[in-house]
Amino acid sequence: MNLFTQFPACSIATPLFFILFFLTLPTHSQVGINTNSPTAMLDVNGDIRIRAMSEDFGSHVLTIDNAGYLAKARAFMLYSADEVLATRPVNSSLQGSATENNIDLGLQAAITIPANREVKVIINYSVPMGTLTNSAPPSTYIGIRFLKDGNEEQQASRKLSLTHYSSPDSEDISSMATLTNTYIENFSSGAVDRTITYDVKGYIEQHVQGSGTYNYKFNMWSATGANYNWGKAAMTYQVYIK
């Protein structure tokens, strides 16, 4: 059965009208608003306005195709997001051949995984690092150890080899670089909330014959004043649920 119905805007006083109207329709009727040829149980040829809708994170989003058909789809939705900014430069000195692999950069995030949800966590970090001017050792790895609850996640850890400057013209040059990376982790639904702590830690592996001492810097050149080409370190995260 096709039913043509066109309601003037002023003729509907309350939602109760709609309830009573649809209860009086035959079970398999198709209802058209502003059309006499409905192609769905409710076919609206015109704009739709909803004056009030409850807010919920839910596990579905409303979709509409090119023909105007509505559907619901499971999708990740943003639950929380934040940023951790470095507040100071972190300095370290190594003598001879030595390794320091757990340098606290002040870049840590404790992330809540809500109960009864599938969760996707995305973490990005960007950390400048290098030596003081004219202080590059002949052979050094420097980089980031990325930890999850104290355990290293190698897919997010990164190291690089520092360039050694030895000419007299290099006294105003700092051997530096910026490491960036993205870490993505999926969590299945759990019965209770969980808190996961992620850390971005500094790493230095120095290979020097003898007892030479070299100085390194992470996060930024200076907490105040000029930062030259370094910029400042940051760690950001987004938590999505469905």
pLDDT (0 to 100) of residue 17: 58
Domain boundaries, given as residue ranges, for the chain: 2-53, 78-241
pLDDT (0 to 100) of residue 4: 45
Render each residue's pLDDT in the chain as its tens digit; 242 residues: 444 444 444 444 555 555 555 555 555 678 888 888 888 888 888 888 778 777 666 667 788 888 888 888 878 889 999 999 999 999 999 999 999 999 999 999 999 999 999 999 999 999 999 988 777 777 899 999 999 999 999 999 999 998 776 655 556 677 889 999 999 999 999 999 999 999 999 999 998 888 888 999 999 999 988 887 899 999 999 999 98
In SS3 terms, the chain reads as CEEEECCCHHHCCCHHHHHHHHHCCCCCCEEEECCCCCCCCEEECCCCCCCCCCCCCCCEEEEECCCCCEEEEECCEEEEEEEEECCCCEEEEEECCEEEEEEEEEEEEEEEECCCCCEEEEEEEEEEEEECCCCCCCCEEEEEEEEECCEECCCCCEEEECCCCCCHHHHHCCCEEEEEEEEEEEECCCCCCEEEEEEEEEEEEECCCCCCEEEEEECCCCCCCCCCCCCCCEEEEEEEEC
pLDDT (0 to 100) of residue 16: 58
pLDDT (0 to 100) of residue 30: 85
Domain at 78-241, CATH class = mainly beta
